[in-house]
Amino acid sequence: MHTGTTLTQFIIEEQRHVAGATGDFTSLLNDVVTSVKVIANAVNKGALVGTMGALDSQNVQGETQKKLDVITNDIMIRANEWAGHLAGMASEEMDDVYPIPQKYPLGKYLLVFDPLDGSSNVDINISVGTIFSILRAPVAGRAASAEDFLQPGTKQVCAGYALYGSSTMLVLTTGHGVNGFTLDRDVGEFLLTHPGMKIPVDTREFAINASNRRFWEPPVQRYVEECLAGTEGPRGRDFNMRWVASMVAEVHRILNRGGIFMYPRDTKDPSKPGKLRLMYEANPMSMIVEQAGGISSTGYERILDIAPTGLHQRVPVILGSKNEVEVVLGYHKDA
């Protein structure tokens, strides 16, 4: 039985180190944690409560929505709209900014999220997650516009994800390292189980959807070919490969045992310079990865430095163990 630091205690203790902190942020984070607990419960019930399967609707990106995509989006909204900490919310599942209803006060933060990342996995009982990012509203107490959200990832106040796997975990950074908490369902609290998470700098494990191989750019083709060539190839060692198709699970594996994850630029659909979305997938994960000592890049530039142009903008993502990502970035430079 783990009786260590609870997430609530951890957040409050962190707040004590921030001069002039009002408790607003702590309280917002607590609401996010509540939504994650409710989502964990919904995901965990699975087929028992009739929430499996797809809807007829599509999201703004033309992807078929799962029932749970919509349910979890609603859970995030309901848990976070009322307390007066937010000036607006944006999500993978909503075309435009979600305005805080008039009956609630407006706050100084913006919340961006992917309520159920990897949802193609939900019907087959494979890990999915929630990804979130907290930004400061340019003007506190004013209803946020889409432009207000378009801040580079370096401006994030906090980034985190929940992983609904064999256990439910919440991994969090506020810019002072990365900490992981595991949900004790009996107690109803997240407990600090993974303090100071650091990504090993070296790895022999890569993750990429190899069915897109013919569409990749030459530097990524070269990198993967060299990994596959193993001890006989230029890298002189064997590599292992993984692909969960759930970015949260992929990043979590990398945080724990190292690795490199790539959803690189490809030529499959010229209108999409990558699959993953900057604001609620790439940016929060990049902040976590960098805070854990890893690197996150498009291949050409640091993801956190990108000036966003749209809420649902897509970017190529190459992230993970420092030394391995540097190899891939070197191949981009060579090309």
How far is the C-alpha of 220 from the C-alpha of 296, rounded, in Å?
Answer: 15
Residue type, 200: P
Give me the DSSP letters along 183-224: EETTTTEEEEEETT----S--SEEEE-GGGGGGB-HHHHHHH
* Binding partner selected for residue 113 from ligand AHM, Mg ion, none, CB under the kind-specific 5 to 8 Å limit: none
* Binding partner selected for residue 22 from ligand AHM, Mg ion, none, CB under the kind-specific 5 to 8 Å limit: none
Helices in 46-190 by DSSP H: which ranges? 67-80, 146-149
What is the contact surface with ligand AHM in residues (CB under 6 A)?
Answer: 63, 92, 114, 117-120, 209, 245-247, 263, 275
How far is the C-alpha of 223 from the C-alpha of 246, rounded, in Å?
Answer: 22
* Binding partner selected for residue 290 from ligand AHM, Mg ion, none, CB under the kind-specific 5 to 8 Å limit: none
Residue whose CB is less far from ligand AHM, 11 or 122: 122
Residue whose CB is less far from ligand AHM, 44 or 58: 58
Cα 103–104–108 angle (5° rounding)? Answer: 150
How far is the C-alpha of 306 from the C-alpha of 154, rounded, in Å?
Answer: 9
Rounded least distance, CB 93 to ligand AHM, Å:
9
Does 93 participate in binding Mg ion (rule CB under 5 A)? Answer: no
* Binding partner selected for residue 65 from Mg ion, ligand AHM, none, CB under the kind-specific 5 to 8 Å limit: none
Rounded least distance, CB 241 to ligand AHM, Å:
13
* Binding partner selected for residue 295 from ligand AHM, Mg ion, none, CB under the kind-specific 5 to 8 Å limit: none
β-bridge mates for residue 158, sequence order: 134
Rounded least distance, CB 294 to ligand AHM, Å:
16
Considering only the stretches 9-17, 24-32, 108-116, 173-181, report the one whose residues sit in contact with Mg ion under the rule CB under 5 A. 108-116
Rounded least distance, CB 263 to ligand AHM, Å:
6
159 burial level (CB within 10 Å; 0-12, 13-18, 19+): buried
7 burial level (CB within 10 Å; 0-12, 13-18, 19+): buried
* Binding partner selected for residue 31 from ligand AHM, Mg ion, none, CB under the kind-specific 5 to 8 Å limit: none
* Binding partner selected for residue 291 from ligand AHM, Mg ion, none, CB under the kind-specific 5 to 8 Å limit: none
How far is the C-alpha of 275 from the C-alpha of 114, rounded, in Å?
Answer: 14
Report the residue from 31, 69, 81, 114 that binds Mg ion according to the rule CB under 5 A.
114
Q: How many residues bind Mg ion (CB under 5 A)?
A: 2
- Determine the distance from the C-alpha atom of residue 300 to the mean position of all C-alpha atoms in its chain, rounded to a whole number: 21
Rounded least distance, CB 69 to ligand AHM, Å:
8
* Binding partner selected for residue 209 from ligand AHM, Mg ion, none, CB under the kind-specific 5 to 8 Å limit: ligand AHM
Instruction: Look at phi and psi of residue 231 and say left if phi exceeds 0, alpha if psi is from -120 to 50, else beta.
Output: alpha
Give the nearest residue (CB) to ligand AHM: 247
Closest by CA to 312, choosing from 285, 289, 282, 287, is 282
Give the nearest residue (CB) to Mg ion: 117
Whether the CB-CB separation of 280 and 150 falls below 8 Å is answered with no
Considering only the stretches 79-87, 114-122, 143-151, 178-186, report the one whose residues sit in contact with Mg ion under the rule CB under 5 A. 114-122
Residue whose CB is less far from ligand AHM, 10 or 149: 149
* Binding region for Mg ion (CB under 5 A): 114, 117
